[in-house]
Amino acid sequence: MGARADAFDLGQLALSSGEGRRLELEVPFQSFDFGGQRYGTRDEQVPAVLDVARTTHGWSLRLRGEVALEGPCMRCLEAAHPAVVVDSREIDQPGGGEDLSSPYLSEDELDLSGWVRDAAALALPAQIVCREDCLGLCAVCGENFNTAGPEHAHEPEPDPRWAALRELKLD
Ligand SMILES: [Zn+2]
Ligand SMILES: [Zn+2]
C-alpha cells in the first residue's frame, strides 16, 4: 500500500531533466455527479500508480488505476458497481501554451484527487446499469421489473372512442 496523497509535491522528488520515478499512491476519491446521479467509491481512497518524468522545463505524467465506483443504476435506481480503468496522461510545459499546461498542476503541486476523479468520470460508460440486462422500472407504477416477475402488467387504458360509442343509444 502506498502513501496517502490528495496532492503530491513533485518538487520533493528532486528529479533532474530526463529522470523519472514510479510511485504507488492511495488517492482520496471525491464523489461526483454523472447523468443527474451521484457516484463515489466504497473505499475512501483508490490505489493508483503515478509515473513522473522530468522534462527539460516541465513534467510528463501518467496516472493509472482501477476505480470501483458505486452509485445508482440508471434504469432501475438500485445499486450499480461500475469499475473503470483509468489511464491518463498529462504534459506540463511552462510557457508551452494551453495544450501543454496541466489543469491539475500548480507550480509543482499535483492535484491527484481531482485528476483521478475526472479520469474516472471520463472512463464511465454512457449508461451505468446494475447488470447488462437490467429490465428497468415499470413506466406505469414504478415497480422494478427485475423483481416484479413476468406476470406484471396493467390493464390497457380503455380507448376513449369506445366509451363514446357505448353512450350511443341505438334504437
Ligand atoms: Zn438496474
Ligand atoms: Zn407496473
Q: Per the confidence metrics, is the pTM higher than 0.85?
A: no
What is the pLDDT, as a whole number, of residue 95? 81
- C-alpha 48 – ligand 1 centre gap (Å): 29
How is the chain split into domains, by residue range? 3-136
Distance CA 1, CA 104 (A): 23
What is the pLDDT, as a whole number, of residue 157? 72
- Which ligand has its closest atom nearest to the C-alpha of 142? 2
* Three cell numbers written together for 30: 471525491
- Which ligand has its closest atom nearest to the C-alpha of 78? 1
Burial of 163 (0-12, 13-18, 19+ CB in 10 A): exposed
What is the pLDDT, as a whole number, of residue 171? 62
- C-alpha 150 – ligand 2 centre gap (Å): 11
- Nearest by Cα to 82 from 34, 49, 50: 34
Q: What does each of the 171 residues of the chain score in pLDDT, given as a tens digit?
A: 566 778 899 999 999 999 999 999 999 999 999 988 999 998 899 999 999 999 998 999 999 999 999 999 999 999 999 999 999 999 999 887 777 889 999 889 999 999 999 999 999 988 999 999 999 999 999 999 999 988 898 987 777 777 676 776 666
CB atoms within 10 A of CB 22: 11
What is the pLDDT, as a whole number, of residue 160? 72
Contacts by 40-44 with C-beta closer than 8 Å and gap 24+?
A: 40/69, 40/70, 40/71, 41/67, 41/68, 41/69, 41/70, 42/68, 42/70, 43/68
